[in-house]
Amino acid sequence: MNENQVLLGQEQPKVFLYLRVSTSDQNIESQKFALLDYCSRQGLQNYEMFVDHGISGAKESRPALNEMMARVENKECSQVIVFSFSRF
């Protein structure tokens, strides 16, 4: 059995996807497409997406990131995937 196969009766671990754009010139759809493509290629089907629109990475208050990180601390996911570390 390879790592992408899931045993019957076992729930696949949840993965969190984080996306952020800081200006209207940037496109959240390209990040979303890339992350969903990655999940598909890796056989990851149990994911939840967190999106911050129009928020600078320099700001401490990023609602979606804050919610996601609180849930990470509660061990609600097995991994976090971002388009680019600069988006995190």
Residue 65 included in any domain:
no
pTM of this structure: 0.76
**Phi-psi map region of 54: left, alpha, beta (phi>0 left; psi -120 to 50 alpha):** left
DSSP string, 10-35: PPPPPEEEEEEE-STTS-HHHHHHHH
Instruction: Quote the domain boundaries for residue 33.
Output: 20-52+72-88
Residue 11 included in any domain:
no
Beta strands in 1-88 (DSSP E): 15-21, 47-53, 79-82
CA 10 to each of CA 16, 39, 77, 79: distance values in angstroms, whole numbers, following the listed order: 19, 18, 15, 17
Residue 29 included in any domain:
yes
Per-residue pLDDT of the chain (88 residues; tens, 9 = 90+): 444 444 555 677 899 999 988 766 568 899 999 999 999 999 999 999 999 987 665 666 789 999 999 999 999 999 999 987 654 4
Residue 10 included in any domain:
no
